[in-house]
Amino acid sequence: MSFTQQKEDREIEEALVRDLQAGNLDAYDKIAELYQKKIYALSFNLMRNQMDAQDVTQEVLLTLFRKINTFQGKSAFSSWVYRITLNASYMKLRSKKKEPNISIDELLPSFNGAGFQQEKIQDWSENTESLLFTNETREVINKAVGLLPEKEKVVFLLRDVEGLSTEKVSEILDLTIPAVKSRLHRARLFLRKKLSGYFEEYNSQKGET
Partner 1 sequence: MICCKECIDLLYDYIEGSLDQDTSKSLEEHFEECPPCIAFLNTYKSTTTICRDTLNQIEIPDEVRRALQSFLKEQKGQQDKK
Which chain residues interact with partner 1 by CB under 8 A? 25, 28-29, 32, 36-37, 40-41, 44-45, 50, 53-54, 57-58, 61-62, 65, 109, 111, 114-117, 120-126, 128, 132-133, 137-138, 141-142, 144-145, 156-157, 160-161, 163, 181, 184-185, 188-189, 191-192, 195-196, 199
Specify the 3-state DSSP secondary structure of 117. Answer: strand
Nearer to partner 1, 4 or 205 (CB): 205
Nearest to 186 by CA among 101, 90, 97: 101
Nearer to partner 1, 97 or 106 (CB): 106
Q: What are the distances in angstroms from CA 184 to CA 2, 4, 38, 119, 167?
A: 25, 28, 20, 22, 13
Nearest to 150 by CA among 106, 108, 198, 94: 94
Backbone φ and ψ for 112, nearest 5 degrees, come out as -85, 180
Minimum CB separation from partner 1 for residue 206, in Å? 17
Nearer to partner 1, 145 or 172 (CB): 145
Nearer to partner 1, 37 or 96 (CB): 37
